[in-house]
Structure 1
Amino acid sequence: MNRKQKQLSMFFAAFILTITTMFSGFSMEAEAAEGQLGIDAEAAMLIDADTGRVLYEKNSDVVLGVASMAKMMTEYMVLEAVKEGKLKWDQKVKINEYVHKLSAAPGLSNVGLTQGEDYTVKELYEAMAIHSGNAATVALAEVLSGTEKNHVEKMNKKAAELGLQDYKFVNSSGLNNSDLLGNHPAGNPDEENVMSARSLAKLAYRLLNDYPEVLDTAKMPSLKFRDGREYKNFNWMLHGLIYEYDGIDGLKTGSTDFAGYGFTATAMRNDQRFISVIMKADSKDSRFSETRKILDFAFSNFTEEELVKENHQIKGKKNLPVTKGKEDSVKIQSKDAITMTIRNGEKDEYEPVLVLDKKKLNENGELTAPIKKGEQVGYMTVKSKKDENISFLTEDGLKQIQIPVVAAESVEKANWFVLMMRGIGGFFGDLFGGVADTVKGWF
């Protein structure tokens, strides 16, 4: 091979290396974006608990087993029934043979329930929420709905009402149906409850926002039951337990062979609360280590900031034209402020956006007098200057960053004489304009 051929060969080798490196770099960047936290679980999600803004997600719409995290739905339904007066905390529940036998089944999470004995709704709820008692959950399902089968139907119906999309409940407890002593209420004999991380996050979000008292029980590290025993909470990140994490006060763990190990957690520091979801982690320990990782990310990187001040006016859009008014324009401004949880240091990466109510405007884009001070003419929201998607779990969350835009002053309707003179002036103005154009056409 001569010198020229060697140079050409080296050039092509360098070219191929550059192209390969460039594309492998793209791949590495994509992988880094996909799993920037390196969460070691099948699916994960992080949201702001106040607004439901999505801050991180991994495989969030993949449907997976949820195990005992499904108990959050029964918790919601119990709290709802108590609030509506359909259930009382001191209401007595007599334990039947099936619930008694299930409470004694080996290998399942339970507190012992004696057949024929009365337990209060509160006792059963605490057993479910703190120690993930499966038999206690079935007993609550029966008192709520008559039978567990009826309760499962109501669970699925309630999920639809709450806006969940990816879910299927086949029992109240989250166990595999094969563990229910032959009494599986719905689905196949070996089926389990399934949900996506997004649906779990939305359920936890609604549970916390609709019934914040859920944390009064969820934060208890142990349960002292009437049998004299002390039962530990399976949320080992609570205060005093082995993976204690500052601020954690809920919410629900779950594990089966099918679901793996999961944890829907919530924590608050300095008046800022987050909800995280970990699904199908490898072990009891890893579901907590991955939760720590995602919550550390949340508290270290996100802050609630005021992005738009009250009475804000957008530059170049401070006024709207007005027809039939004493004035020909009106000042407009935001009625409230817009606050949102964002990454630290990125406040300047958002800008306000004005959305006018088209029903308020005529075909020329004008408001028609009279206009009252404070009258809404549209709304203001924010967008990312980088065109990054601002995602929320619910429409209500999205509406929290859509604030009314109102008239900053009143504009009275002009009287008939003024309107008439304007009309005459407009007529002659158009007439003279037409004549002038005609004359110009002669030359």
Structure 2
Amino acid sequence: MKRYKTKLIVAGVIVLIIGLIIGLSTNKKDVSKPTNVKHVTDKPINLSVDATSAVVIDAKTGQILGVKNADKQVPIASQTKMLTAYGVLQGIKSGKIKWTTKVPITSKSDLSDQDSHLFSHIAVKAGDKLSVKELYDVMFANSANDAAFALGEFMTPKGKTTQQALQMWAKSLHLTGSQWYNSAGQVNGDAFENQIKSASTTAANHATAKQLAMIAKADLELDPTLRKLSEKMTISYHLTASYVVTDKTDYWQLMTQTMPKLSNPNKLVIEGLKTGSTPESGAAFTGIIKDQNGHEFITVVNGAGDYMDEKTRFQATLDVVNEVLAKKQGHTFTSNQTIQKLNFQALKKTEVPVKLAETKTFWTNKKTQLKLSNLSVDTKLAKLNKNQKIGHISPALNAQYLSYTSKTDKQLTVKSGVKGTQANWFVRLWRNLF
């Protein structure tokens, strides 16, 4: 009987040890390491720009830095093409199309008989075929309406109208309350065969400044090369295999004709992105702007002057960023910066330096300190590679962000500063017990 009890005790101890080893080898839920850091509250400044609506956001985080009527629905004209681009980029991402896929030009997108000064278009006619990439490029670089009509029609799912496709893409971006009639941004009566018969001829696409910033941010995340595309001085496309047309871009006009006339004391760089011009929308521009410290902003100004004005919209864009820079300061947390050392009980070397895996800037009012808080790392990991992403940390900041900004955009990813291998079972058991 005593021998039987002894066996039971030994068996129980073995089971306990095995259980401890299994528990020590298993990754458990994240262990949060909050710090007692005072949080800072930041609000967007009220922009004084002479425009119907405007917004400035940090391009990386989505933090809203400046606003003017930023939730007001307004006519948006060719800024619509950013939503058409979003539909294209989703098609590329899903594998439904490739950049080299040929798009047929139908009568719906044949604007060859129209005055290109009134209705921007390229030299294509019904029956031509251009690649997705060529149409996408001229849609941005030259605001080509025929390219937008062609891509909108091509990306429309079978059984749906292009208007329904636009509404579907808008819904996926949570653009609540926005209105969409055609893929180029023309007033309904000027959309030619793309006109919606059931709608008024004066019907126009509408969105808010914040919503336009949301589309721009989504496009940039799906296609970071948009920055380079937007800065091209010329753009080319094939009418036939051997016949290439090359045109000057809107950016050429901006850099050679407009920028020299603008006041730009902070030497801001306009990297792109999309103008909008109709009598209904006035002069508008959704921009990617970079300051001399490398901070990147997405800006929107709507109704900044008459729709034919090629100066006011860009001056207004520079002005809103300058106003933000005058009233706010950026707190930049840099990749590879060590923020803390943590103990990983399952590793041979338990103390691991935790570093930032990315660089991000968060904004507050001037003369305000900003620290990091709420480090969250799984400290049960039994193996680490150097630079392995292991968790995240947040700025001690209560700020406003674009709607549906992801949690990761508001945080910083952290990584392991060293390589770590698992300690033997006895060491792990000993550490767990004592």
| Range of TM-score over shorter length | 0.5 to 0.7
The counterpart of 1:296, out of the listed 322, 327, 330, is 322
Q: Relative to 1, partners in 2 of residues 1:94 and 1:206: Cα closer, same or farther, differing over 3 Å?
A: closer
**Structure with a larger share of its residues in helix:** 1
RMSD over aligned CA atoms reads 4.7
Q: Cα offset for 1:207?
A: 0.9
1:293-340: CA deviations, max 9, x gaps?
1233466765452289855359xxx999x9xx9xxxx98985536854
Q: Which residue of 1 aligns with 2:411?
A: 400
Q: Which residue of 1 aligns with 2:394?
A: 381
Q: How does 1:104-123 map to 2 (within 5 A)?
A: 104=114, 108-111=118-121, 113=123, 115-121=125-131, 122-123=133-134
The counterpart of 1:240, out of the listed 256, 263, 271, is 256
Q: Secondary structure of the equivalent of 1:173?
A: coil
Are 1:218 and 2:227 matched, yes or no? no
Q: Cα offset for 1:195?
A: 1.0
Q: Cα offset for 1:186?
A: 7.6
Cα contact 1:235–1:252 (8 A) shared by 2: no
Cα contact 1:95–1:119 (8 A) shared by 2: no
Q: Give the residue type in structure 1 aligned to 2:259.
A: Y
Q: Relative to 1, partners in 2 of residues 1:344 and 1:78: Cα closer, same or farther, differing over 3 Å?
A: same
Q: Relative to 1, partners in 2 of residues 1:62 and 1:181: Cα closer, same or farther, differing over 3 Å?
A: same
Q: Relative to 1, partners in 2 of residues 1:291 and 1:348: Cα closer, same or farther, differing over 3 Å?
A: closer
Q: Cα offset for 1:230?
A: 6.7
Q: Which residue of 1 aligns with 2:69?
A: 59
Q: Give the residue type in structure 2 aligned to 1:305.
A: T
Q: Relative to 1, partners in 2 of residues 1:389 and 1:136: Cα closer, same or farther, differing over 3 Å?
A: closer
The counterpart of 1:336, out of the listed 356, 371, 394, is 356
Q: Give the residue type in structure 2 aligned to 1:46.
A: V
Q: Secondary structure of the equivalent of 1:167?
A: coil
Q: Secondary structure of the equivalent of 2:56?
A: strand
TM-score (norm 1): 0.65
The counterpart of 1:287, out of the listed 313, 318, 339, is 313
Q: Relative to 1, partners in 2 of residues 1:165 and 1:102: Cα closer, same or farther, differing over 3 Å?
A: farther
Q: Which residue of 2 aligns with 1:134?
A: 145
- Between the two proteins, what is the percent identity of the paired residues? 23
Q: Cα offset for 1:248?
A: 1.9
Q: Which residue of 2 aligns with 1:425?
A: none
Q: Which residue of 2 aligns with 1:28?
A: none
Cα contact 1:104–1:112 (8 A) shared by 2: no
For residues 240 and 148 of structure 1, the distance between their equivalents in structure 2, rounded to whole angstroms, comes to 45
Number of residue pairs matched by the alignment: 369
Q: Relative to 1, partners in 2 of residues 1:150 and 1:229: Cα closer, same or farther, differing over 3 Å?
A: same
Q: Which residue of 2 aligns with 1:272?
A: 295
Q: Cα offset for 1:263?
A: 0.2
Q: Relative to 1, partners in 2 of residues 1:117 and 1:241: Cα closer, same or farther, differing over 3 Å?
A: farther
Q: Cα offset for 1:80?
A: 3.8
1:72-121: CA deviations, max 9, x gaps?
1112323443452514436252443x433575267632235554441312
For residues 113 and 308 of structure 1, the distance between their equivalents in structure 2, rounded to whole angstroms, comes to 47
Q: Relative to 1, partners in 2 of residues 1:142 and 1:392: Cα closer, same or farther, differing over 3 Å?
A: closer
Q: Relative to 1, partners in 2 of residues 1:210 and 1:413: Cα closer, same or farther, differing over 3 Å?
A: same
Unaligned stretches of 5+ residues in structure 1:
1-32, 361-366, 423-443
Cα contact 1:61–1:166 (8 A) shared by 2: no
The counterpart of 1:171, out of the listed 169, 182, 186, is 182
For residues 379 and 35 of structure 1, the distance between their equivalents in structure 2, rounded to whole angstroms, comes to 28
1:255-280: CA deviations, max 9, x gaps?
22222221001133564322111112
The counterpart of 1:81, out of the listed 87, 91, 98, is 91
Cα contact 1:200–1:277 (8 A) shared by 2: yes
Q: Which residue of 1 aligns with 2:58?
A: 48
1:349-388: CA deviations, max 9, x gaps?
113333779xx9xxxxxx9x9999999998642224xxx5
For residues 401 and 145 of structure 1, the distance between their equivalents in structure 2, rounded to whole angstroms, comes to 37
Cα contact 2:105–2:124 (8 A) shared by 1: no
Q: Secondary structure of the equivalent of 1:46?
A: strand
Q: Give the residue type in structure 1 aligned to 2:255.
A: H
Q: Relative to 1, partners in 2 of residues 1:413 and 1:217: Cα closer, same or farther, differing over 3 Å?
A: closer
Cα contact 1:302–1:341 (8 A) shared by 2: no
Q: Which has the larger radius of gyration?
A: 1
Q: Which residue of 2 aligns with 1:438?
A: none
Q: Cα offset for 1:133?
A: 1.7
The counterpart of 1:204, out of the listed 216, 235, 241, is 216
Are 1:260 and 2:260 matched, yes or no? no
Q: Cα offset for 1:254?
A: 0.4
TM-score (norm 2): 0.66
Cα contact 2:357–2:389 (8 A) shared by 1: no
Q: Which residue of 2 aligns with 1:312?
A: 339
For residues 274 and 334 of structure 1, the distance between their equivalents in structure 2, rounded to whole angstroms, comes to 29
In terms of mean alpha carbon deviation, does 131-140 or 34-43 score higher?
34-43
Q: Which residue of 2 aligns with 1:156?
A: 167
Q: Relative to 1, partners in 2 of residues 1:186 and 1:210: Cα closer, same or farther, differing over 3 Å?
A: farther
Cα contact 2:329–2:365 (8 A) shared by 1: no
Q: Relative to 1, partners in 2 of residues 1:395 and 1:308: Cα closer, same or farther, differing over 3 Å?
A: same
Cα contact 2:138–2:147 (8 A) shared by 1: yes
For residues 392 and 100 of structure 1, the distance between their equivalents in structure 2, rounded to whole angstroms, comes to 37
Q: Relative to 1, partners in 2 of residues 1:390 and 1:334: Cα closer, same or farther, differing over 3 Å?
A: farther
Higher RCO, Cα 8 Å, sep 6+:
2
